[in-house]
Chains A and B, each alone.
Chain A
């Protein structure tokens, strides 16, 4: 051991230059864990992948962000992830984060995900701090939601909150659909472009789903991680990451934006708030949403903040957000039309006047015009079909929860169309069947899993009815396969839904009296391209 150094007990002298790097490495007696002050400087005008760097913009958990300009003057931002001056363990985590950033930001292609313009690894032995750093050149945003919330007045939604939430939801839904989990959704990672468009950024903890979950380093933001995050078991690959974590974070962000920055759980510190969330999740305290949270959004926030992650997984975020953003059911259709017009009109104005001035205080008023459709999965409901938009998400979710390939969204949609014509108020008192999926209430009760909302499930609720239908149809399909059927499963399942798997088995196929109904479903299925 080294002889004791008398200077160790003395507080650092601010006027003295810090000791040279050679002397301090590694200094075992001293906590090295003061936040490293920007481990390296990027000289102005430094060239990275053809972009020239400019002013220092800010610091994230793992990297520094600098302004940059493309050869044609395009404004950009460069995020530098540097392994310099990190311990081996940190370096490993950093490498993992850099890999994840490179991988996901390059593939992120959605109007509400930050686009990466170039990725490069700095090769400059002359600049030891920079050498080996990963540089990600991205679109430059005007500010983050964090900035907006910092300036917000509690008790009222921040301007444009609903639009921002709809856009974030679109970006997030896209990520989940292509099999990614963001893993660190929070206001600081949601950026607002100069025109006000919201984009999700920071894919350092993003991971790809392997089945129902992914693995990520055990890192998170205490105000936005779900309650189960704190007690998860850890393995060599890190902690399990699920889309339900992003859903929880979305609920917290929605509450923050719509109440002018209030967190849904009370407490003076992030620690206290996260413990309050855990008390709620254990059932020790009820959920108390702020009274200023607008009515239609209470449903969304409550669904996102469902204590059980399994139930949260079943939340159809897109459908809920669409419903809340469109207002109460009575004027939903009208509002939708008005909204469409508004968008079209804005687009026209934009075309006439060019880009609007950036909106200083608010979030900007312009929504992103057209969203390119996500790459359709096999069996997905075609965009132009007659399946009501409000139910598509629920149907997709219900079908996707079933591992059987026949149970595709289009099959459920075709069955629903034949059953009720998508009418949630459909009823046939003679046969005792009700709702969009024409459930016999007693049968429904057996197949309804815990709903994505408070209170009991109902066969009259389209979301519940369709979710339960997905469960039942999936089971029927498996039963029929078990009984040895291998062909025409969509037809057989349809027949079994009307009768039972036993009836179909006894008839050795579609019973004659059900044939017209089955033909109708198969016709609709063909219409949907299934």
Chain B
């Protein structure tokens, strides 16, 4: 299982847009150094800015979270929670193995120009499961870890909403519908089309790990499959509907 995924920073300012970002997948106990690297000795997470040290620090996957080491003697690094509305953690110079509790993070390092940065995902944070297990002994769990406060969960919820409200509803909402549904939420005001697509891909590949091949046609095979799975295995339930904004009252005729 990949407990930590580092999205490698773009190499230099001129990058073909649309090229998929490089990903570094890590499991418990694995570590990767970030920095400018030395000639002939590149580092796993390259940050090609003259203002960044050759070996600026290290990301270590620990259990289902990750730790950040700051090898700099003077610079403080900041880890932003990408979904936390300004929440961040500061890692002081020389600090080793500072735990980072966020699922979606961006690491920021002082650089000559814009701060150097890279994103780190920790998709396997565990959550208490609703289902009851035996009081003693081992609980039965599911291998999916979904955070009901995360944006991807809202996207999944919006996709599932019609079928949750009426099991016979046929159509799974499209990206435009999801966007329209979620924008009423204060936390989703800035949500874009590409962000919704991004969250759908994150659900498909990393959180629910759909088995291919799904039919990726105009009918929305990917979304269809996500909804079927989430409902079948009870990952999204009726009680979650309260997370969505109230629906417009239907005009009675």
Q: Which residues of A contact B (CB under 8 A)?
A: 1, 26-33, 35-36, 58-61, 87-90, 92-93, 144, 146, 150, 184, 186-188, 217-225, 227, 229-236, 238-239, 270-272, 275-276, 278-279, 282, 284-285
When distances are taken between beta carbons in the complex, the residues of chain A under 8 Å from B228 are 236
- CB contacts (< 8 Å) of A146 on chain B: these are 136-138
Contact A230 B1 (CB under 8 A): yes
A59 touches B232 (CB 8 A): no
Q: Are B138 and A186 in contact (CB under 8 A)?
A: yes
Query: In the complex, which residue of chain B has the Cβ closest to the Cβ of A236?
Result: B228
5 tightest CB-CB pairs across the interface, nearest first?
Answer: A33-B130, A35-B132, A89-B234, A28-B242, A284-B29
CB pair B28–A32 under 8 Å, yes or no, is: no
A92–B137 touching, CB < 8 Å: no
Check if B215 is an interface residue, CB within 8 A of chain A: no
**Given A146-B137, A230-B143, A236-B232; A87-B238 close (CB under 8 Å):** yes
Question: Nearest Cβ in chain A — how far from B77, in angstroms?
Answer: 25
Which residues of chain A come closer than 8 Å to B132, judged between CB atoms? 35-36, 59, 61
Residue contact A60 to B130, C-beta cutoff 8 Å? no
Contacts of A26 in B (CB 8 A): 238-239
Kindly state the separation between the CA atoms of A285 and B126 in the bound complex, as whole angstroms: 22
CB–CB A282/B232 < 8 A: no
Q: Which residues of A contact B140 (CB under 8 A)?
A: 61, 184, 219-221
- Asked if A278 and B1 make an inter-chain contact with CB atoms under 8 angstroms apart, the answer reads yes
Cα–Cα distance between A146 and B138 once the two chains are bound (Å): 9
A269 to chain B, nearest CB (A): 9
Given contacts A31-B239, A230-B124, A279-B29, contact A235 B138 (CB under 8 A): no
Contact B212 A233 (CB under 8 A): yes
Q: Which residues of B in the span 200-253 have a Cβ within 8 Å of any Cβ on A?
A: 208-212, 225, 228-229, 231-235, 237-242, 246
Contact assessment for A90 and B131 in the assembled complex, using a CB-CB cutoff below 8 Å = yes
Partner of A275, one of B64, B231, B239: B64
**A26 to B242 alpha-carbon distance, docked (Å):** 11
Known contacts A188-B137, A236-B229; is A33 also within 8 Å of B29 by CB?
A: no
Complex alpha-carbon distance, A275 and B124, angstroms: 10
- Residues B209 and A232 in contact, CB atoms below 8 Å apart: yes
0 or 1 for each of B32-54: is its CB under 8 Å from A? (1 = yes): 00000000000000000000000
Partner of B233, one of A36, A218, A285: A218
The answer on a CB contact under 8 Å between A234 and B208 is yes
List of A residues within 8 angstroms of B225 by Cβ: 236
Complex Cα–Cα for A221 and B137 (A): 10
**Smallest distance from the beta carbon of A38 to chain B beta carbons, Å?**
9
Q: Does B135 contact A (CB under 8 A)?
A: yes
Is A284's CB under 8 angstroms from B27's CB? yes
A32 and B239 within 8 A (CB): yes
A-B contact pairs, 16 of them (CB 8 A): A1-B246, A26-B239, A31-B239, A60-B134, A146-B137, A146-B138, A150-B136, A218-B233, A224-B138, A232-B209, A234-B144, A234-B208, A234-B210, A235-B229, A238-B233, A285-B29
Q: B231 touching A282 by the CB < 8 A rule?
A: no
CB pair B28–A88 under 8 Å, yes or no, is no
Q: How far is the CB of B71 from chain A (nearest CB, A)?
A: 22
Across the interface, which residues of B come within 8 angstroms of A229, CB to CB? 143
* Contact call B234/A231, Cβ cutoff below 8 A: no
In the complex, the answer to whether A239 meets B143 with C-beta atoms within 8 Å is yes
In the complex the two chains form, is A231's CB within 8 Å of B138's CB?
Answer: no
Q: Are B211 and A231 in contact (CB under 8 A)?
A: no
Residues in B neighbouring A28, C-beta threshold 8 A = 238-242
Task: List A contacts of B138 (CB < 8 A).
Answer: 146, 186-188, 221-224, 270
B3, B29, B126: most-surrounded residue (chain A CB, <10 A): B29
Q: In the bound complex, what is the Cα–Cα distance between A360 and B165 (angstroms)?
A: 54
Would you give the 0/1 interface string for B54-66, flagging 1 where the beta carbon is closer than 8 Å to chain A?
0000000001100
Further contacts, 19 of them, CB under 8 A, given A28-B239, A279-B29: A26-B239, A27-B239, A32-B239, A33-B130, A59-B132, A60-B134, A89-B233, A89-B235, A144-B137, A184-B140, A187-B138, A217-B233, A219-B142, A220-B142, A233-B211, A234-B229, A270-B139, A282-B27, A284-B30
Q: Closest approach, in angstroms, between the C-beta of B149 and any C-beta of chain A?
A: 13
Question: B63 contacts A221, CB within 8 Å?
Answer: no
Chain B hits for A275, CB < 8 A: 3, 28, 63-64
User: Complex formed: what's the CA distance from A465 to B210 in Å?
Assistant: 39
Alpha-carbon gap, A222 to B126, bound state (A)? 12
A187 to B138, CA, bound (A): 9
Interface string of B1-19 (1 = CB under 8 A from A): 1110000000000000000
With contacts A284-B27, A285-B29 taken as known, whether A231 is within 8 angstroms of B1 at the C-beta atoms is: yes
A59-B133 Cα distance, complex, nearest whole Å? 8
Whether the pair B143, A92 counts as a contact (CB closer than 8 A) is: no
Nearest CB to that of B236 among chain A residues?
A: A89
Nearest Cβ on chain B to A201's Cβ, whole angstroms = 13
B246 pairs with A33, CB closer than 8 A: no
Q: Assess whether B237 is in contact with A276, with CB atoms less than 8 Å apart.
A: no
B129 at the interface (CB under 8 A from A): yes
Name B233's closest neighbour in chain A (CB-CB).
A218
Give chain B nearest CB distance to A315 CB in angstroms.
22
A357 to chain B, nearest CB (A): 26
* B190 within 8 Å of A (CB atoms): no
The answer, yes or no, to whether B24 is at the interface (CB within 8 Å) is no
Q: What's the nearest-Cβ distance from chain B to residue A511, in Å?
A: 49
Tell me the complex Cα distance, A234–B209, Å.
6
B226 to chain A, nearest CB (A): 10
Across the interface, do B1 and A58 meet the contact criterion of CB distance under 8 Å?
Answer: no
CB-CB under 8 A from B129, the residues of chain A are 33
Q: Which residues of chain B from 130 to 188 have any CB-CB distance to chain A below 8 Å in the complex?
A: 130-144, 167
